[in-house]
Amino acid sequence: MTDADDRISIPQWRYAPDAWRWVSRFNDRYARSLLRVRSARILPASMRARFLAMDIPNEILESTLASITAPDKWSNAWIETAQRFLGDYRRQVSSKHLLEAAQARRLAALSYHAAQVFSSGDERTIRTCRAAAASLFAQAQPYVYPDARRLTVPWRAHRLPAYVQTPAGSTAQSGIVVILNGASTSKEESFTWAESFLRAGMAVLSLDSPGTGEASGVPNPNADDDDILDGVFEIMQSEPSIDLSQVSVVGVSLGGNLAVRSAAYDRRIMCSVAVTPPFDPVRWIGRASPLLMQQLGTIVDSMADDPYASTSRYSLYDSVRRLKSPLLVFGAGHDLVVPPSEAQLLAARGGALASLVWYPHSGHCLYDAIPTWTAEAATWISSVAAARAFEYQSAGYADPLHVAEMARDQLRIADTMGQDFWDDEGGARLIDPPDTDADDIGSYARVITPTPRPESPSDHAT
């Protein structure tokens, strides 16, 4: 590893300006022309990884994408795929293979979930697919995930559907990680991200945020939803296995924005993790993809009428200054939904409380690196809990700045930092921006790179 005081520039994607100019022109007409010639198989690997992470078999993914030759064919293609899985479910039931039947039903649920990802123009289809996904997943869950439980979290006058998973074989109290989904994700998808946290001895609660997933009937998300974890603390009081002093929040995309705002609002939250979050969307919303704007219009009030006023309320510029707990930010160099600089600006604004982990070759939400970033997040959260316990034991008070520094140091030396599958050459990893003002982030930061991979024995063959 390099010395922590070495200063090198954060790797930048040389084609980012051209890519963002292309994205800003990618409207429905452009999409129709492109899909008519190339089909949805043109989806980049970072987006394909999202569906592969749901355990959709690659050959089925390929055939589904190949059948999509227009934007309005996306939903029907995935609904047909869901029906194929349901056909397999019925065959497995007839053969009395109940576990295999439940697995097929789960894949049908996730196919219905995939059907609503790019169906922003048809609200009825979105709601129908979300309802089907939630229902089928709930029916499969007792067989596929017998240790998980379905519950509802009270929030204001509403109930938010959720699943909770606890580490197997644990008898001691454990902390809990609350996962907040993005605009097009749901608890059924984020459910599959829990493995690293469970392995680290933490319970995981996957929640449908307002206006998403099964919570589509709840009013659309708003910038004042920072009290969303109130209900989690309330219902977990009756769970003796949960340590309420170790509640962490992990959010992706818009959920990452909400995670930061929740941690700034609720001092009971031990720490927060934000994955490719928007920091100050009013800066760039005018250059976003028209298709993204269309999708956001289905869940963010007034987006179509006044996008600048709507997105300005989601700025974290002031919220992050109210943080009193450590923050871990994940950024993606090839993000074409949220500018990569947003993660850098958020980490810089967070000052010494914040740490930035940079994935120079990944896209939005790090779908192509889910095992890696969740392992790093689990390592960091465990380190925050251990550092807090040490501080309380030695000084009777846990200084958030000391805790953040200790957790950052632990993440530097953790084995997970050297187990990534992307090319190390020129790749920055754990970054501590020296600037404390997001207005002057600068072009340099202290950076830790992974340890060099050992050479293969075949390289020395004579």
Cβ-in-10-Å burial (0-12, 13-18, 19+) of 240 comes to: exposed
Residue 136 lies in a domain: yes
Beta-bridge partner residues of 431: 356, 447
At 46, which CATH number?
Answer: 1.20.1440.110
Contacts of 230 (CB under 8 A, 6+ apart): 154, 155, 266
Rounded Cα gap, residues 133 and 110, in angstroms: 6
3-state SS assignment for residue 62: helix
Is residue 400 in some structural domain? Answer: no
Position 91 in a domain = yes
Report how far residue 242's alpha carbon sits from residue 268's, in angstroms, rounded to the nearest whole number: 14
Total-model pTM: 0.87
Q: Which residues contact 320 (CB under 8 A, 6 or more apart)?
A: 260, 264, 327, 346, 349, 350, 354
Tokens representing residue 206 in the block: 């996957």
Name the strand (E) or helix (H) holding 446.
strand 444-448
Q: Phi, psi at residue 336, to the nearest 5°?
A: -115, 15
Residue 117 within a domain: yes
Query: How many degrees, rounded to 5, is the angle at CA 367 between CA 58 and CA 288?
Result: 115
Segments in 396-432 forming alpha helices (H): 400-413
Pair of tokens at residue 66: 């190949």
For residue 291, being part of any structural domain is answered with: no
Distance CA 334, CA 361 (A): 6
- pLDDT < 70 stretches in the chain: 1-9, 11, 120-121, 295, 297-307, 415-462
Q: What would you measure as the largest C-alpha separation in the chain, in angstroms? A: 73
Q: Are 212 and 183 in contact (CB under 8 A)?
A: yes
Torsion sign over Cα 129, 131, 132, 137 = positive
Helix, strand, or coil (residue 123) = helix
Tokens for 70?
């227009």
Q: Model confidence over 328-366: pLDDT tens digits?
A: 999 999 999 999 999 999 999 999 999 999 999 999 999
d(CA 110, CA 201): 27
Q: Is 23:29 a contact under the CB 8 Å cutoff? A: no
The verdict on residue 373 lying in a domain is no
* Cα gap 42→28, rounded to integer Å: 16
Phi, psi of 123 (to 5 degrees): -65, -35
- Cα torsion angle, 49, 54, 59, 62, sign: negative
Q: Which of 312, 256, 334 is nearest to 20 (CA)?
A: 334
Query: Does residue 312 form part of some domain?
Result: no
CA 275 to chain centre: 5
Question: Do you know the residue count of the chain?
Answer: 462
**Domain that includes residue 102, residue range:** 39-146
Residue 379 and residue 436: Cα distance in Å, rounded?
25
CA dihedral 34, 35, 38, 41 (to 10 degrees): 130
CA torsion, ordered 207, 209, 215, 218, to nearest 10 deg: 140
Which helix (H) or strand (E) segment holds residue 86: the answer is helix 74-94
Whole-number pLDDT of residue 431: 66
User: 380's torsion region: left (phi>0), alpha (psi -120 to 50) or beta?
Assistant: alpha
Domain count, the chain: 1
